[in-house]
Amino acid sequence: MRKSLGRRCAAAALAVFTGLTTVTLAASPAQAAPAIAGVTLSTGTVVLDGDAGCANRVKVTYKVYNPQAEDNYISVTADVMGADGDAVDFLWASQASRSGDYAYLTDYVFICGGLDGPGRYTIRTELEWFGDDLVNHVVERVDTFYVKRPTSLSYDATPEPVKKNSALTHKGVLKTDPVGYGAKYGLKGAVLRFYFKATGAKSYTYKGQTTTGSGGKYSKKFKATKSGTWMVVYSGSSTRQPQTRFDAVKVK
């Protein structure tokens, strides 16, 4: 349950009456409104095994513009929603430091591998303050991060060394962690892309792609024309970790 915000004491009356004379008291100058100047997450992607416990966390740091710290009582809270739309955590950030007109508040999102599924997570933040106008103000902001299941990718370009203009076979296995509990399994139907950088070249050139078969196995042949480094890339997804592997090959 959200904790109630602190409240300022009631303001003094702006006018008092002494006999038949009205004495008007000067109002305080208008204060600049607090605002969320920025939000920093310790990571934009959490790679989390389905068997992991709940010690995994994402640090959230709020940079809040609040030049009148002694007169504006602020509160920064947030609801954290999982990829399935269910509530995962609740944040009530506390001030960690201050620099000039800015306060820095932090809290942590805790994630459980066996309970919290992979995908896009949403942090819905509310900055609330009770200003000198005696009105409660609210500013909202939405930020996101991802939870992904780990993957593994083996890769071997063979034979090595290879004769010029002969076939070079690229093979290996792609595995991924299940959404819930259990060991990694071979991922079928995933697209892998191959790139090559010749010795002395500055960049990689795309050579083609293949799709993993049963058990996550793959095999692709390319003609070997130059010595250099081959690279295979699995781009991952919103729920799976990307992978990149390299193999240097000498052509004779």
In a domain, 164, yes or no: yes
37-69 pLDDT per residue, tens: 999 999 999 999 999 999 899 999 999 999 877
Instruction: List, in sequence order, every residue forming a beta bridge with 97; answer none if it has no partner.
Output: 104
In a domain, 24, yes or no: no
Are residues 85 and 100 both part of a single domain? Answer: yes
Find the domain containing 83 and state its range.
Answer: 32-148
122-176 pLDDT per residue, tens: 999 999 988 777 778 999 999 999 999 999 999 999 999 999 999 999 999 999 9
Residue among 243, 241, 245 at smallest CA distance from 44: 241
201-242 pLDDT per residue, tens: 999 999 999 999 999 999 999 999 999 999 999 999 999 999
CA distances from 185 to 47, 150, 170, 176, 219 (A): 16, 11, 20, 6, 18
CA distances from 75 to 80, 92, 163, 209 (A): 16, 8, 68, 51
CATH number, domain of 233, equals 2.60.40.730
In a domain, 89, yes or no: yes
In a domain, 179, yes or no: yes
Strands annotated E in the chain: 15-18, 21-24, 35-41, 45-47, 56-65, 73-81, 87-99, 102-111, 119-130, 136-148, 151-153, 156-158, 167-176, 185-186, 191-198, 205-211, 217-223, 228-234, 243-249
Two structure tokens written together for 211: 């799709």
Cα separation, 180 vs 172, in Å, equals 25
In a domain, 206, yes or no: yes
Total domains in the chain come to 2
Banded model confidence at residue 1, pLDDT cuts 50, 70, 90: very low
pTM (two decimals): 0.79
Are residues 121 and 157 both part of a single domain? Answer: no
Are residues 109 and 177 both part of a single domain? Answer: no
Are residues 242 and 174 both part of a single domain? Answer: yes
Cα separation, 144 vs 126, in Å, equals 15
